[in-house]
């Protein structure tokens, strides 16, 4: 006799460990693909899985095989016009004639091995680049704050959550439902008794009625199935709303790599804020010698040329705050990226504007500098270095791993990490 | 509909239940065992969901395996193709074990479940039990236990020696798996328990033999050689992994064990690669025959039969070489056609059949098929039983691709002059040498630089693919010393030598 077993309830993720091994082994290639996605995606869309592809030849498992060349005969089906001795020009792609082995249209024809990364895998690779500590990773990937919220009733729970009115209402319904047919029978019997004259029969009916009444009495007042408990569920609870200002110098000296660093910096801050606040708005301000508010696409990808006046961007930010984001209603964060070039009185004026007017409005303001030459102190960082405020952080960044430390104070303070 | 009264359908409609599966299985089993005398292992039918089917794919069709990234790659490849709808899932996977485990997908309809039961649980199952290659090379009783042992052993090694080191060794072993197979000698088979004892003994032996004094023995001077030694090994060895396991000068005991595990797996899968056409043909022939018998007995309705036949037809489609989606000869189509043709030759032989198959024409088809199933592999099966009629039906033709000729030439076609040559060429296409290069160990320089010499004998002047260099570096990594590749032509004349070192 055959045995039939239901395995559907077994673990469905047997291959997860092997999948993780594959991703670990080809991390370098996959990271490169992830970087491409980061460059393509908007800051607010960053938090999704993604499709990556890596070259097939990189992941090929070698074995001894025959190479092209040599002599062989292949047998194929479906001849309709060939005769013995016919000559056919050799097909261009080698191995096309070798379809018989099945290799021809298998792996060989695909140049790339494409597959999807889950959201977690994607974010982890993104964070790996930024050398994000694990505690911080947990904070920005998980939602930690929850509020308990009423969500109807359940048939099971702890006594403290027992809902007395609900339970009694159920009990009453059950009692009515269970005893109604008995009551009906009693009524019928009583009617019959009233019409009956024979005492013996009446006595019989009365015992029947008595039996029915005792059955009614045995319907319990409160049964376990009547009990209802107040049900509560956890819902994620971000605190309130925030606005994040992204300021970037887009003069010609800002190369693509520098912009890529900037984007990662803004993304990280955004992820952090979106965990903390229910609603995060982003304002993109780019500046050369004058500043303007733009959308994300133009912010990162429009080439601009011209001089550099940092102060213009700070002024614009100040104006936008006054106009649209009253500090009473918003938590304001600023993030500024520049290569540090500033001329004349600009750095000094910018420092004054930032320290005296903007910082008091902000919860946090971070500045990263992406210099051409790491050893050289730029005019702007020289000026900014004299700002002393717990709400201000600045750092010179040359690689992706440097991005996180500039936000470290912020994470430490506001995420209790 | 049965002759004796109304229909007695087992069920109607697409829904299946566990009870129905058991009843269908009993009905099919009755026909298979009692009417057609199929000899099978007991069946274990497992119902799984589609995600689990993907898992089963990735573990190369074994229910348990050791962890390795290549299985992850396989899983990702299948999962992505499946999610994008580029590929459907197999209806079933069957494992050559005792009891014979078959996986059925939960999404299948009742008709499909019945088809799969007939195909896997009675078709493949009886093939596993009867075919000489499987009898000789696989041990259905112990494979699951062995894989449990292998998995535990690999995980233990990872703990002790680090995942990186284990992965490197396994990578090298996997590269050589196609050359980790014995084709001619029957190794003694060990149960999982004996296997474990052997590992322990091997380690104990090493502990006992450890003696610090060997460190103090003066080293031999370089270049010094003891008296000439006869060539070792005396005969060329085709099982590279076996040779590495037994003779590698540098491998740690645990690495030897890993080599052994991969070698055993390669050996376990060896018969499957050699009997693809026969195995699938046999199973397809039997699901077709068994289900038709169910219908004749009035146990299933016409709707059931139509669904089965539709699926059956899809499976045995053979596209022509110039049609879209052509991927070579479909083993299901060829195998099913040959099995059906054998039955026809026995039942309704023509004059041509009498001339070509005098010993079986008009014979008892069940005996003939049973004999063929037990004693052949693809190559010999085709060489023996491919009839001119099938060559015509498939419109087979052979194309010669010779290096010295800038054109391809049609060598022979399906006509009187071509039958024998076509059949011979076609059969040789299923010879292992056709797809796997002939590479053997010819020399181990035990007294000298400890290099290992392997010889590649070109099969009809076919060179090795470029990736062979990588494989040789893998071999050198396992060997620990230089590996020398000697290339020679069909006659054995050496044409080239190259040295390889890992790292």
**Do A255 and A401 fall into the same domain?**
yes
Calpha distance A144→A240 (Å, rounded): 15
Does A63 fall in a domain? no
Q: Radius of gyration of chain A from Cα atoms?
A: 37
Distance from CA of B185 to the nearest CA of A (A): 22
Residue B2's pLDDT is 43
Identify whether residues A53 and A185 lie together within a single domain. Answer: no
Pair (B367, B326) in one structural domain: yes
B334 and B363: one domain? Answer: yes
Could you give the CA distance from residue B5 to residue B30 in angstroms, rounded to a whole number? Answer: 21
Do B304 and B338 have their domain in common?
no
- For B421-459, what is each residue's pLDDT tens digit? 999 999 999 998 888 999 999 999 988 889 999 999 988
Q: Is residue B348 part of a domain?
A: yes
Last residue of a domain, one of B286, B309, B332: B309
Best CA proximity match to A358, nearest among A407, A311, A395, A397: A311
ipTM of the complex: 0.84
Nearest to A266 by CA among A290, A283, A242, A289: A283
Place of tokens 């005991």: B253
- Look at residues A24, A57, A90 and tell me which one is the last residue of a structural domain: A57
A77 alpha carbon, distance to own chain's centre: 52
Share of chain A above pLDDT 70, in %: 88
Determine the Cα–Cα distance for residues B427 and B443; give it in Å rounded to an integer.
33
In a domain, A36, yes or no: yes
Residue B400 sits at φ, ψ, to 5 deg, of: -95, 130
Nearest to B429 among A13, A75, A77 (CB): A75
- Residue bearing the bigger pLDDT, B26 or A17: B26
Q: Say if residue B52 is in the same domain as residue B79.
A: yes
Q: Is the pLDDT of residue A106 over 70?
A: no
Which residue among A182, A200, A231 closes a domain?
A231
B379, B406, B433: which is the final residue of a domain?
Answer: B433
Instruction: Tell me the percentage of chain B whose pLDDT exceeds 70.
Output: 94
> What are the backbone dihedrals phi and psi of residue B111, each rounded to the nearest 5 degrees, phi first?
-65, -40
Of B21, B76, B471, the CB nearest to A64: B471
Closest Cα of chain B to A90: distance in Å? 5
Last residue of a domain, one of B309, B335, B365: B309
Cα A368 to Cα A386: distance, rounded to the nearest angstrom: 15
Q: Are A350 and A381 in contact (CB under 8 A)?
A: no
Tell me whether residue A307 is in a domain.
yes
Chain A (45-84) residues lying within 8 Å, Cβ to Cβ, of chain B: 59-80, 82-84
3-state helix, strand, coil in chain B (%, to 5): 55, 10, 35
Decide if B221 is inside a domain. no
pLDDT at A102: 36
Task: Tell me if A137 is assigned to some domain.
Answer: no
Sign of CA dihedral B483, B488, B493, B499: negative
Residue with the larger pLDDT of the pair B320 and A242: B320
Give A13: exposed, middle or buried? Use CB within 10 Å, 0-12, 13-18, 19+. Answer: exposed
Lowest mean pLDDT among A140-144, B21-25, B64-68, B311-315: A140-144
Closest CA to A1 of B45, B208, B404, B196: B45
Q: How far is A100 from chain B (nearest CA, A)?
A: 4
Task: Provide the pLDDT for residue A253.
Answer: 75
If DSSP codes are grouped into helix, strand and coil, which group holds residue A338?
A: strand
- The CATH number assigned to the domain holding A288 equals 3.40.50.410
Spatial neighbors of B282 by CB under 8 A, at least 6 apart, are B123, B124, B126, B127, B335, B339, B373
Whether B427 and B441 map to the same domain: the answer is no
Cα B5 to Cα A404: distance, rounded to the nearest angstrom: 82
Query: Other C-beta atoms within 10 Å of A90: how many?
Result: 14
First to last CA, chain B: 71
pLDDT at residue A359 in the model: 87
- Interface with chain B: mutation pick from A24, A33, A64, highest number of B CBs within 10 Å: A64
Contact residues, B window 379-438, toward A, CB-based 8 Å cutoff:
394-403, 406-415, 417-418, 422, 425-426, 429, 434-437
Kindly report the number of other CB atoms within 10 A of residue B366's CB atom.
14
Q: Quick one: CA torsion of A134, A140, A143, A144, rounded to 10 degrees?
A: 50
> Are residues A377 and A323 located together in one domain of the fold?
yes
Q: Tell me the β-bridge partners of B325.
A: none
Residues A175, A264 within the same domain? no
Same structural domain for residues A253 and A392?
yes
* Residue appearing with tokens 């043909």: B281
Mean pLDDT for B191-199 is 84
Tell me the DSSP string of B473-488.
Answer: HHHHHHHSS-EEEEEE
* B87 close to A (CB below 8 A): no
Provide mean pLDDT across the span A262-289: 82
In-domain check, residue A352: yes
Cα–Cα distance for residue pair A72/A383, rounded to 1 Å: 77
Q: pLDDT tens-digit profile of B453-494?
A: 999 998 888 999 999 999 999 999 999 999 999 999 888 888
Whole-angstrom distance, CA of residue A130 vs CA of residue A137: 10
Contact by Cβ (8 Å): A316, A248: no
Residue A270 and residue A398 in one domain = yes
Q: How much is the pLDDT for A338?
A: 86
Same domain as A368, residue A294:
yes
pLDDT digit string, tens, across residues B121-150: 999 999 999 999 999 888 888 889 999 999
Same domain, A352 and A383: yes
Q: Is the pLDDT of residue B355 over 90?
A: yes
Chain A contacts in chain B segment 254-313 (CB below 8 A): none
Return d(Cα A321, Cα A336) in angstroms, integer: 16
Domain shared by B380 and B456, yes or no = no
The per-residue DSSP string of A381-408 comes to HHHHTT---TTEEEEE-SSGGGHHHHHH
> Among candidates B149, B106, B118, B103, which has minimal Cα distance to B40?
B118
Q: How confident is the model at residue A109 (pLDDT cuts 50, 70, 90)?
A: very low
B380 and B421 within one domain: yes
Task: Please indicate, yes or no, whether residues B334 and B418 belong to a single structural domain of this protein.
Answer: yes
DSSP string, B39-50: --PPEEEEEE-H
Average pLDDT over chain A reads 81
Cβ–Cβ < 8 Å for B146, B195: yes
Where residue A96 falls among pLDDT bands split at 50, 70, 90? Answer: very low
Q: Which of A63, A74, A101 sits opposite B398 (nearest CB)?
A: A74
Q: Which residues of A touch B460 (CB under 8 A)?
A: 70-72
Per-residue pLDDT, B1: 42
Closest CA of chain B from A415, distance in Å: 35
Number of structural domains, chain B?
Answer: 3
Contacting A residues, span 99-128, partner chain B, CB-CB under 8 Å: 99-102, 104-105, 113-116
Pairwise CB contact (< 8 Å): A82 & B410: yes
- The pLDDT score that the predictor gives to residue B262 is 95
Provide the chain A residues 328-387 that lie in CB contact (below 8 A) with chain B: none
User: Among residues B134, B66, B67, which one has the least CA distance to residue B95?
Assistant: B134
The pLDDT tens digits for B232-274 are 888 889 999 999 999 999 899 999 999 999 999 999 999 999 9
Contacts of B398 in chain A (CB under 8 A): 73-76
Contact B419, B356 (CB under 8 A): no
CB-CB contact of A291 with A304 (8 Å): no
A23 touches chain B (CB under 8 A): yes
Instruction: Please give the Cα distance from B80 to B260 (Å, whole number).
Output: 33
pLDDT, one tens digit per residue, over A369-405 is 888 777 778 888 888 888 888 888 888 888 877 777 7
- CA-CA distances (angstroms) from residue B339 to B116, B315, B345? 19, 15, 10
pLDDT band at A99 (very low <50, low <70, confident <90, very high): very low
Residue B127 and residue B59 share a domain: yes
Task: Read off the pLDDT of residues A175-196 as tens digits, 9 standing for 90 and up.
Answer: 999 999 999 999 998 888 888 8
B165, two tokens: 């080191």
Task: Kindly report the nearest CA distance between residue A71 and chain B, in angstroms.
Answer: 4
Q: What is the pLDDT of residue A266?
A: 86
Q: Are residues B471 and B402 in the same domain?
A: no
CB pairs under 8 A between A and B: 267
Among B99, B175, B413, the residue with its CB nearest the CB of A82 is B413
Does residue A141 or residue B105 have the better pLDDT? B105
> What's the confidence (pLDDT) of residue B503?
67
- Note whether A211 and A286 are same-domain residues: no
pLDDT at A97: 42
Contact list in A for residue B458 (CB cut-off 8 A) is 70
Alpha-carbon gap: B123 to the closest alpha carbon of chain A (Å): 15
Residues B402 and B298 in one domain: no
In a domain, A328, yes or no: yes
pLDDT at B364: 94
Tell me if B137 is assigned to some domain: no
Nearest to A317 by CA among A329, A303, A332, A331: A332
Specify whether A171 is located in the same domain as A227. yes
Looking at the fold, whether B329 and B297 belong to one and the same domain comes out as no
Residues 192-231 of chain B with CB under 8 A from chain A are none
B438 forms beta bridges with B457
Are A337 and A249 in contact by the 8 Å Cβ rule? The answer is yes
A191 and A333 inside one domain: no
B18 to chain A, any CB pair closer than 8 A? The answer is yes
Count structural domains, chain A.
3
- Picking from B237, B238, B232, B248, the residue whose alpha carbon sits closest to that of residue B172 is B248
A305 touches chain B (CB under 8 A): no
Q: Are B304 and B292 in contact (CB under 8 A)?
A: no
| Residues of the domain holding B463 | 437-500
Q: Are B398 and A114 an interchain contact pair (Cβ–Cβ within 8 Å)?
A: no
Q: Is the pLDDT of residue B502 over 60?
A: yes
Q: Can you give the residue range of the structural domain that contains A43? A: 15-57
Q: Of A211, A231, A251, which residue sits at a domain end?
A: A231
Chain A interface includes B489 (CB < 8 A): no
Inter-chain touch A87–B474, beta carbons under 8 Å = no
State the nearest Cα–Cα gap between A362 and chain B, in angstroms.
46
Inform me whether the C-beta atom of residue B76 falls under 8 Å from chain A C-beta atoms.
Answer: yes
């Amino acid at each position: 006799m055959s045995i039939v077993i239901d395995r559907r309830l077994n673990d469905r993720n047997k291959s997860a460990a092997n999948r993780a091994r594959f991703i670990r082994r080809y991390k370098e290639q996959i990271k490169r693909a992830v970087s491409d996605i980061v460059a393509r995606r908007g800051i607010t869309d960053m938090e999704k899985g993604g499709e990556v592809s890596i070259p097939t030849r990189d992941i090929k498992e070698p074995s001894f095989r025959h190479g092209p060349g040599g002599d062989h005969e292949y047998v194929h089906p479906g001849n309709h016009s060939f005769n013995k001795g016919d000559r056919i020009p050799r097909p261009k792609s080698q191995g096309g004639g070798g379809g018989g082995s099945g290799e021809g249209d298998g792996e060989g024809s695909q140049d790339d091995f494409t597959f999807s990364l889950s959201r977690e895998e994607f974010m982890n690779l993104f964070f790996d680049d930024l050398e994000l500590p694990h505690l911080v990773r947990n904070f920005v990937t998980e939602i930690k704050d929850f509020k308990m919220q009423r969500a109807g009733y359940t048939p099971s729970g702890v006594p403290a959550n027992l809902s007395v009115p609900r339970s009694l209402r159920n009990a009453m319904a059950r009692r009515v439902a269970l005893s109604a047919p008995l009551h009906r029978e009693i009524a019928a019997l009583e009617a019959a008794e009233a019409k009956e004259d024979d005492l013996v029969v009446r006595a019989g009916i009365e015992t029947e009625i008595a039996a029915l009444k005792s059955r009614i009495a045995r319907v319990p007042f409160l049964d376990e199935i009547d009990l209802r408990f107040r049900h509560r569920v956890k819902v994620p609870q971000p605190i309130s709303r925030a606005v994040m200002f992204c300021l970037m110098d887009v003069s010609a000296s800002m190369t693509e790599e520098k912009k890529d660093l900037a984007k990662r910096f803004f993304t990280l801050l955004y992820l952090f804020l979106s965990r903390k606040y229910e609603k995060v708005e982003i304002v993109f301000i780019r500046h050369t010698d004058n500043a303007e508010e733009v959308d994300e696409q133009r912010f990162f990808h429009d080439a601009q040329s011209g001089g550099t006046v940092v102060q213009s961007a700070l002024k614009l930010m100040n104006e936008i705050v006054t106009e649209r984001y009253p500090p009473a209603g918003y938590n304001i964060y600023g993030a500024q990226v520049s290569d540090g070039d500033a001329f004349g009185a600009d750095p000094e004026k910018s420092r004054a504007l930032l320290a005296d007017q903007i910082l008091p409005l902000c919860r946090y303001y971070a500045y990263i500098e992406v210099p051409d030459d790491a050893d050289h102190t730029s005019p702007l960082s020289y000026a900014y270095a004299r700002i002393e405020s717990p709400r201000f952080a600045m750092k010179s960044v040359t690689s992706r791993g440097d991005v996180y430390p500039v936000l470290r104070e912020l994470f430490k303070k506001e995420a209790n990490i | 509909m049965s002759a004796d009264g109304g229909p007695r359908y087992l069920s109607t409609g697409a829904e299946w239940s566990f009870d129905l599966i058991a009843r269908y299985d009993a009905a099919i089993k009755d026909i298979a065992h009692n009417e057609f005398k199929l000899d099978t292992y007991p069946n274990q039918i497992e119902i799984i969901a589609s995600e689990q089917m993907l898992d089963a794919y990735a573990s190369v069709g074994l229910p348990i395996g050791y962890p390795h990234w290549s299985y992850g790659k396989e899983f990702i490849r299948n999962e992505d193709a499946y999610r994008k709808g580029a590929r459907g899932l197999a209806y079933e996977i069957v494992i050559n074990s005792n009891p014979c485990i078959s996986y059925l997908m939960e999404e299948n309809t009742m008709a499909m479940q019945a088809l799969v039961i007939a195909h896997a649980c009675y078709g493949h199952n009886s093939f596993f039990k009867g075919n000489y290659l499987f009898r000789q090379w696989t041990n259905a009783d112990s494979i699951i236990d062995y894989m449990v042992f292998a998995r535990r052993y690999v995980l233990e090694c990872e703990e002790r020696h680090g995942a990186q080191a284990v992965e490197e060794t396994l990578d090298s072993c996997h590269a050589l798996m196609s050359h980790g197979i014995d084709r001619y000698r029957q190794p003694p088979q060990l149960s999982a328990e004996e296997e474990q004892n052997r590992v322990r003994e091997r380690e104990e032996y090493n502990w006992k033999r450890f003696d610090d004094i060997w460190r103090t023995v003066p080293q031999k001077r370089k270049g010094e050689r003891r008296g000439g030694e006869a060539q070792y090994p005396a005969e060329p060895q085709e099982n590279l992994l076996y040779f590495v396991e037994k003779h590698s000068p540098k491998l740690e005991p645990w690495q030897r064990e890993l080599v052994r595990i991969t070698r055993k797996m390669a050996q376990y899968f060896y018969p499957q690669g050699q009997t693809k056409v026969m195995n699938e043909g046999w199973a397809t022939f039997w699901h077709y025959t068994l289900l038709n018998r169910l219908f004749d007995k009035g146990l299933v309705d016409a709707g059931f039969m139509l669904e089965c036949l539709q699926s059956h037809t899809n499976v045995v489609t053979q596209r022509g070489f110039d049609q879209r989606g052509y991927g070579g000869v479909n083993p299901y189509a060829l195998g099913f056609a040959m099995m059906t043709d054998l039955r026809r030759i026995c039942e309704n032989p023509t004059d041509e059949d009498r001339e070509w198959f005098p010993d079986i024409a008009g014979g008892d088809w069940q005996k003939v098929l049973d004999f063929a199933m037990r004693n052949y592999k693809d190559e010999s099966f085709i060489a023996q039983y491919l009839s001119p009629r099938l060559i015509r039906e498939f419109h087979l033709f052979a194309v010669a691709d010779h290096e010295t000729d800038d054109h391809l030439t049609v060598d022979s076609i399906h006509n009187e002059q071509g039958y024998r040559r076509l059949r011979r060429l076609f059969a040789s296409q299923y010879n292992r040498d056709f797809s796997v290069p002939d590479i053997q160990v010819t020399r181990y320089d035990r007294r000298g630089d400890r290099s290992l010499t392997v010889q590649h004998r070109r099969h009809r002047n076919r060179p090795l693919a470029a990736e062979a260099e990588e494989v040789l570096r893998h071999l050198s990594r396992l060997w620990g010393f230089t590996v020398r590749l000697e290339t020679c032509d069909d006659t054995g004349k050496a044409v080239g030598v190259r040295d390889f070192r890992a790292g």
